[in-house]
Amino acid sequence: MKYNFDEVISRENTASIKWDVVAEDNGVKALPYWIADLDFKAPIEVIEALKERIEHGIFGYTAYSETLIPTVKNWISKRYDWNIEDEWISYTPGIVSAILYAIECFTKAGDSILVQTPVYPPFLQVPTDNNRKIIENNMILNNGKYEIDFKDFEEKAKNAKLFLLSNPHNPSGRVFTKEELEKLGNICVKNNILIIADEIHSDIIYKGYKHTPIASLSEEIKNITIACYSASKTFSLAGLATSIIVIPNKEIRDKFNEYLNVRHISVNVLGKVALEAAYQYGEDYLFELMNYLESNRDFLIDYMNRYTPKIKPIKAEGTYLIWLDCRELNLNDEELKKFFKKAGVELNSGYTFGDAGKGFMRFNIGCPRETLVKGLERIKSAYN
Ligand SMILES: Cc1ncc(COP(=O)(O)O)c(C=O)c1O
């Protein structure tokens, strides 16, 4: 092992949202397993590249370097079997902001946006905060696995302007299959719906699964898709606010880039250095990270099955987010939230992922095993 994911590094007092913005109960701070970032150091190669850039000492206005393009293309080709062209690539300071830009660019107030619920809360908030309507295609939980209700999706697609896809899916942890994505994509083609494919978790894939970019499946699907990638989830870089937007269709791309240009959205000088180093040197790190996360995932599932059997973790195929089915506890939204707060852990409440998330909680396992065990022990005590 080259990387030590067992190392516990304090993130307190670093203005970390995860660690420093958590609730206190009677003066005791909860241990955080909520917002989706890692408690691991970025790869040493990324830290070295950042140090070198920092040593230069001048951090003026910056452009995205040409060298970034082959690095990004190589990562997407090697890891997801999708060959993209240089000019398809743009950058934004984050994927949620890219989602907002695309919604503003390609829909108008009152238009409807299709999402697969339960879903990452900004998929619901960004459209509604900007006067768009949400159409929810609820996924079906069948024997511990979420499945797509295609019939409902097809029906609802008739009224939608845009489909916001999370693949891998946050919070269910599903890594959608080629067949599922083909079906979704073809329904969008048939109904003339633009797809925003948020593939931010596309590197966090467990053994036995493979990430497929929806845009790679056919010419028709490619031509209606805006695909979003980032090194942020994988390499502990979320605070550097840099993401990659891939738009094969020239008309859509020109409109999106024009939107970015007129808004003078600036470039994070360190974000682009970190992204390039991560995609250039990050494969060993990712390999070891996935082994570590997989053993955390399996440990949590085993622990909960054994000690808190009324809380049923959904086995994630991808992402470091474990969706906990807490419906057997028979607690309402407020009571469920209170239960975990009293236990001394901060998780994400399921109801914020849409009505389909009621009775669920989301647990982030992207931490050293020692931290994971502490949280599970707290939950076990409260449960007992
Ligand atoms: C599906 C999904 N999209 C986007 C984001 C956030 O992306 P960014 O920080 O680039 O805005 C997250 C973070 O949890 C996520 O889970």
Model confidence at 1, pLDDT cuts 50, 70, 90, reads confident
Is 377 contained in some domain? yes
Is 3 contained in some domain? no
DSSP bridge partners of 360: 325
Burial of 233 (0-12, 13-18, 19+ CB in 10 A): buried
Chain-wide mean pLDDT for the chain? 96
Q: Outline where the chain has alpha helix (H).
A: 17-20, 44-56, 68-80, 95-106, 122-129, 150-157, 178-190, 219-222, 232-235, 250-263, 269-281, 283-307, 333-343, 369-383
For residues 124 and 354, what is the distance between their CA atoms, to the nearest angstrom?
8
Q: Render 263-325 in DSSP notation, one character per residue.
A: HTPPP-HHHHHHHHHHHHH-HHHHHHHHHHHHHHHHHHHHHHHHH-TTSEE---SBSSEEEEE
Among 281, 304, 326, the domain-final residue is 281
Given a cut of 80, whether residue 28 has pLDDT beyond it is no
Q: What is the structure's pLDDT at 353?
A: 98
Distance from the alpha carbon of residue 311 to the mean position of ligand 1, in angstroms = 26
Examine the domain organization and report whether 228 and 371 are in the same domain: no
Is 186 contained in some domain? yes
Nearest partner of 230 among 220, 222, 221, 238, judged by Cα: 238
| Average confidence (pLDDT) over 125-138 | 98
Task: Give residue-wise pLDDT tens across range 208-254.
Answer: 999 999 999 999 999 999 999 999 999 999 999 999 999 999 999 99
What CATH number is attached to the domain comprising 358?
Answer: 3.90.1150.10
For residues 239 and 42, what is the distance between their CA atoms, to the nearest angstrom?
12
Q: Is the CB of 243 under 6 A from ligand 1?
A: yes
User: How many folded domains does the chain comprise?
Assistant: 2
Model confidence at 145, pLDDT cuts 50, 70, 90, reads very high
Mutation pick for ligand 1 pocket among 38, 95, 172, 176 (CB with most ligand atoms within 8 Å): 95
Range of the domain at 24: 17-43+284-383
Among 220, 249, 281, the domain-final residue is 281
Question: Which residue has a Cα nearest atom 14 of ligand 1?
Answer: 36
- What is the position in ligand 1's atom list of the atom closest to the CA of 243? 10
Examine the domain organization and report whether 297 and 344 are in the same domain: yes
Q: Is the CB of 232 under 6 A from ligand 1?
A: yes
Q: What percent of the chain has pLDDT over 70?
A: 99
Examine the domain organization and report whether 206 and 311 are in the same domain: no
Given a cut of 80, whether residue 27 has pLDDT beyond it is no
Distance from the alpha carbon of residue 340 to the mean position of ligand 1, in angstroms = 24
Examine the domain organization and report whether 85 and 193 are in the same domain: yes
Among 264, 281, 298, the domain-final residue is 281
Examine the domain organization and report whether 266 and 360 are in the same domain: no
Examine the domain organization and report whether 360 and 227 are in the same domain: no
Q: Is the CB of 198 under 6 A from ligand 1?
A: yes
Model confidence at 65, pLDDT cuts 50, 70, 90, reads confident
In which region does residue 38 sit, left (phi positive, over 0), alpha (psi from -120 to 50) or beta (all else)? Answer: beta
Question: Which residue has a Cα nearest atom 7 of ligand 1?
Answer: 95
- What is the position in ligand 1's atom list of the atom closest to the CA of 93? 10
CA distances from 155 to 21, 47, 136, 151, 160 (A): 41, 49, 11, 6, 10
Is 99 contained in some domain? yes
What CATH number is attached to the domain comprising 224?
Answer: 3.40.640.10
Q: Is the CB of 96 under 6 A from ligand 1?
A: yes
Q: What is the structure's pLDDT at 21?
A: 87
Examine the domain organization and report whether 276 and 288 are in the same domain: no
For residues 68 and 273, what is the distance between their CA atoms, to the nearest angstrom?
9
Q: What is the structure's pLDDT at 324?
A: 98
21 contacts: CB under 8 Å, gap ≥ 6 = none
- What is the position in ligand 1's atom list of the atom closest to the CA of 319? 16
Q: What is the structure's pLDDT at 266?
A: 84
Residue 182 C-alpha from the chain's centroid: 21
Is 49 contained in some domain? no
Is 55 contained in some domain? no
The residue behind tokens 């996924």 is 139
